[in-house]
Structure 1
Amino acid sequence: MKSLALSLMAALLVSTASAEPTATGDLGLVIERANGSVLLVDQSERAALARIEGLGDLSHASLVYSPDERFAYVFGRDGGLTKVDIVTRSIANRVVQAGNAIGGAISDDGKLVAVSNYEPGGVRVFDADTLEMVLDIPTGSKTIGLVDAPGRKFVFTMWDTGETWIADMSGAEPEITKIPDMGENPYDALITSNGRTYITGLFGEDGLTALDLWDENPQPIRVLPNYGRGQQEMPVYKMPHLEGWALTGPEFVLPAVGHHEVLWVDANTLAETARTKTYGQPVFAMARPDGRQVWVNFAHPLNDTIQVIDTVSKDIIHEFKPGPAVLHMEFTPRGHEIWISVRDAGKVMIYDTHTFEKLREIDADSPSGIFFTARAHKTGL
C-alpha cells in the first residue's frame, strides 16, 4: 500500500513538472467586431494564438482584466457581459444583462464588474466570479463614462440629465453620491491613473467638466469653456474616446470635438497651454508610456492616417497611412512598440515607436479595440 502511494505521488510530481506553464503578462485580446470574436495575441511573438468565438455583438466593445490577468470581461453592444479565460482560451461564462450596453469597469479589488447601459439605462454590478448581479442602479438616463476609482468605487455620468454619480461599494450597503450640473450631454469620461481627477467631455456645449475625487464634496470644475467659439463649426463624424486622451507629465492632450486639432491643458490648473493643428478630427490621442510622444488617429473620412506629436516641441514629427479605417492603438507596456487595428484591411499592424518601422502584420477579422493584459494593473482601464 505504501509503495502504491509513493508511485502515485511520483507520477503526480512528474505530471506537474512536465505541465506547460501559462504566463499571461505578454498576452492581449483584439476585438473582432464583425464576427463576435476576440483574437488572443502574444506581444513578444507578434503573433495570434487563438480565436475565441460566441461573444455576440461586438460592434462597439471594450474589456477589462481580472487582477491575475487570467480573465477578460468583455462588454458587448448587445448588453452581453462575457467572461473569457485566456489560459484555456474559452468562454468561462456569459450573461446578456441589458438591451444596449456601452462599456464597463472592474473594481480595484477585482471582485465586482460594473456595466454601463443605454437600454434600459443605468449601471448593473456583477460578482466577478459568478457573473451574478449584486446591484442594479437605475438612473433614468443613458449612462456613459463608467470608470473604477480607488476604494471599491465606480463613477459614471448621465447623458440625459448631466449628472455624475459615485457608487461606493466598500461598505455593507452601497452609497450613491449624485453631482448635478456637469454640463449638457456628457458623452464620455476618463479618470487619471491616480484616481483623483474625473473628466467628462460635453457634446451639447464646448468645453469639459472635471471633478476632484479627493475632495470630500466634489464640485464640477469647468475646463476650456467655449474653446471652439469664433471658429467655424464642423460636422462631428465620430466622438473622441476620452479613455484614449493622454496625460504626458504635467499636461493633458485632448482631442477637440469637431475641430482639426488637439488641445494641451495644464494637469494641475486645467488651463489651456497650447494647441496643435492635426490632419483631421482626432479620435484617440494616446501617449507613449514614457510620455515623450502622442499618437493620434482620426475620424472618417480621414481615418487612414496617424500622426505622431513630440510632447516637448508639440510639433508633428511623423505622419503615415497604415490603411483604411484605423480604429484603435495600443502601446506595449514600456512603449517600444505600438499595435494598430486597421479594420478595412483586416490587419493588426505593429510598429517600432522610435524608428517608425513596420515590424509585422497579423490577420484579423474587422479588428477594433486592442487590449493588453498590463491594463489589469491600471486604474480606469
Structure 2
Amino acid sequence: MTSKNIQSTSSLRRLPGALSILVAALALAGCAATGGAVRGTGDLGVVIERATGSVQIVENSTDTSLAQVKGLGDLSHASVVFSRDTRYAYVFGRDGGLSKVDMLTHKLVKRVIQAGNSIGGAVSTDGRILAAQNYEPGGVKLFDADTLELLADIPAVGADGKPSKVVGLADLPGQRFAYSLFEAGEIWMLDASNPRQPKVTKFHNVGKQPYDGLGSSNGRYYIAGLYGEDGLAMLDTWAKDLQVRRILPDYGKGREKQPVYKMPHLRGWAISGDYAFLPAIGHKQVLVADNRSWNQVTAVPVYGQPVFVMAEPSGRKVWVNFAFPHNDTLQVIDVPSMKVVQTLKPGKAILHMEFSPKGDEIWVSSRDENKVVVIDTQSYTTRKVLPAESPSGIFFTWRASRMGM
C-alpha cells in the first residue's frame, strides 16, 4: 500500500471498532482487486469478443487491455450499457442473456437468461432500471440494476393482436423508454416511474417494419428507420400533442433499387451543430439533414455503403465505416466543407468504432484480423494494436452519462 493508503487507514481509528474494521477490510479488498492501487472507471471500456462469448476490459488512458471476462454466452449481436457510477457493465447477448460485469474486479457478478433472443437494452435516467428488448418472445422486460430482479414484463402485441419483435430501444428523460414494434409498425413509449406497474403510450401506423431506432442526445426525439418503405418516423417528446410524424420521405432505397449488403445502424447517426449525418441505404452516400426542419440539405459521396456514421465529440469531423465488400475502410468527413478528407484501411472487417471521451482517439474493431486498432484522430496514425478474439462492439464508460445510448 502507498503512504496515502496508510494515512487513510490510520484515520479509521477514530471510527467505532467494528465499523473501522469493516471499512478497513473493504479498502484492502478494493486495493487487492485492482492490483494494489485504487483507481477510477472513467477511462474504462468493454470490447465484445463475439466468437468466444467473452469481453475484454480496456483502458483508454494508456491504450491497454486489463482483463478478459468469459462465460457471457452468445455475443454475436451484443450491446452494453453501464451503471450510473460506471463500475458495472451490463451486457445484452443474442441468446437472451443479461450479464453484470464488475469493471474493477474483472468478474462476472451475475447472469440471467431473460429471453430466447435479445438484441440490446438501455438503462433508466436514475440508473436503477435496466430495460431489455427482445426478438423472442418479443416485448420489453424491466430489471433492477443492482440485483437483476425482474420488475415487469411488457409483451409487444400490436393493434392487430399479433406479437411483434422489439427493436430500437432507447432511454428518454423522466424514467422513460421508447422502442419500435417491427411487425406491428408501431412506436411505444414506456414510463417506468413505477417500474412494477409501468405505463405505455402507443403510436399506431407509424410506417412499415421499423427496423431500428435512436434517441437524440438531448432526449427530445425518438426516430425509427423503416425497412418496408422510404422515410423515417419521428416522435417529438417535447410536443404538447404527442404524435409521430414522417421525416425525410426519400430516405431509403429510393426509386433506383440497389442491393443492400448490411442495413445501416441508426444508433450510429452523427449530430453536429445544425446537421444530422446519416447512412444512405443501399447507396454510397452519407446524407445530411437540417436537424431543425429535418429536410435533406446535401449528400456526401463516400467509398461504399455506410453502416455507422459517427461524429467526434467536438462535432468537427464525422467518421464512416462500410458494409462488405468495402468493410476494410474508414473515411473521415470534414463538417464545414462537407467533404471526405481522409481514407484509412486499418484492417479487415472494420465493424465498430468508439471515441475516447474527448475524442483524441478512436478505437475500431477488425473482426477478421482479431485486433482492435487505436487511431489518433488528429494525425490519423495508429497509436496501438490490441489482440482480441473476433472483436465487434466497443463501449466506453462515458456512455453512462449520455441519453439515447
TM-score (norm 1): 0.95
Name the counterpart of 1:156. 179
Name the counterpart of 1:239. 263
How high is the sequence identity, in percent, across the aligned residues? 53
How far is 1:217 from its partner? 3.2
- Name the CA distance, whole Å, in 2 between partners of 1:216 and 1:75: 34
Name the counterpart of 2:385. 361
- Name the CA distance, whole Å, in 1 between partners of 2:25 and 2:56: 33
- Name the CA distance, whole Å, in 2 between partners of 1:226 and 1:147: 24
How far is 1:145 from its partner? 0.4
- Cα distance change of structure 1 residues 81 and 351 upon mapping to structure 2, 3 Å threshold: same
Is the deviation greater in 235-244 or in 291-300?
A: 235-244
**Could you tell me whether the CA contact under 8 Å between 2:177 and 2:191 is conserved in 1?**
yes
Name the counterpart of 1:183. 207
Amino acid at match of 1:223: I
How far is 1:228 from its partner? 5.3
Note if 1:82 corresponds to 2:99.
yes
- Name the CA distance, whole Å, in 2 between partners of 1:224 and 1:295: 22
Matched residue SS, 1:344: helix
Name the counterpart of 1:295. 319
Name the counterpart of 2:306. 282
Alignment of 1:205-284 (within 5 A): 205-227=229-251, 231-284=255-308
**Could you tell me whether the CA contact under 8 Å between 2:229 and 2:252 is conserved in 1?**
no
Note if 1:58 corresponds to 2:81.
no
Name the counterpart of 1:48. 65
- Name the CA distance, whole Å, in 2 between partners of 1:77 and 1:14: 39
Question: Which whole-Å deviations, capped at 9, do the CAs of 1:224-266 have from their partners, x for residues lacking one?
Answer: 1134576521111111111111001111001011111011111
How many residue pairs match? The answer is: 378
User: Which among 45, 70, 80 is matched to residue 28 of structure 1?
Assistant: 45
Matched residue SS, 2:368: helix
Question: Which whole-Å deviations, capped at 9, do the CAs of 1:3-32 have from their partners, x for residues lacking one?
Answer: xx98x9699769948762131111100000
TM-score (norm 2): 0.89
- Name the CA distance, whole Å, in 2 between partners of 1:207 and 1:105: 25
- Cα distance change of structure 1 residues 206 and 25 upon mapping to structure 2, 3 Å threshold: same
- Name the CA distance, whole Å, in 1 between partners of 2:119 and 2:181: 12
How far is 1:206 from its partner? 1.4
Matched residue SS, 1:232: coil
- Name the CA distance, whole Å, in 1 between partners of 2:384 and 2:198: 48
Structure 2 segments unaligned to the other structure (5+ residues): 1-12, 157-162
**Could you tell me whether the CA contact under 8 Å between 1:105 and 1:115 is conserved in 2?**
yes
CA RMSD, aligned part only? 2.1
**Could you tell me whether the CA contact under 8 Å between 1:36 and 1:54 is conserved in 2?**
yes
- Cα distance change of structure 1 residues 130 and 322 upon mapping to structure 2, 3 Å threshold: same
- Name the CA distance, whole Å, in 2 between partners of 1:314 and 1:113: 38
- Cα distance change of structure 1 residues 258 and 91 upon mapping to structure 2, 3 Å threshold: same
- Name the CA distance, whole Å, in 2 between partners of 1:231 and 1:155: 31
Matched residue SS, 1:376: helix
User: Which among 121, 130, 135 is matched to residue 147 of structure 2?
Assistant: 130
Is the deviation greater in 213-222 or in 158-167?
A: 213-222
**Could you tell me whether the CA contact under 8 Å between 1:205 and 1:226 is conserved in 2?**
no
Matched residue SS, 1:375: helix
- Cα distance change of structure 1 residues 271 and 85 upon mapping to structure 2, 3 Å threshold: same
Name the counterpart of 1:71. 88
- Name the CA distance, whole Å, in 2 between partners of 1:78 and 1:39: 19
Structure 1 segments unaligned to the other structure (5+ residues): none
**Could you tell me whether the CA contact under 8 Å between 1:250 and 1:268 is conserved in 2?**
yes
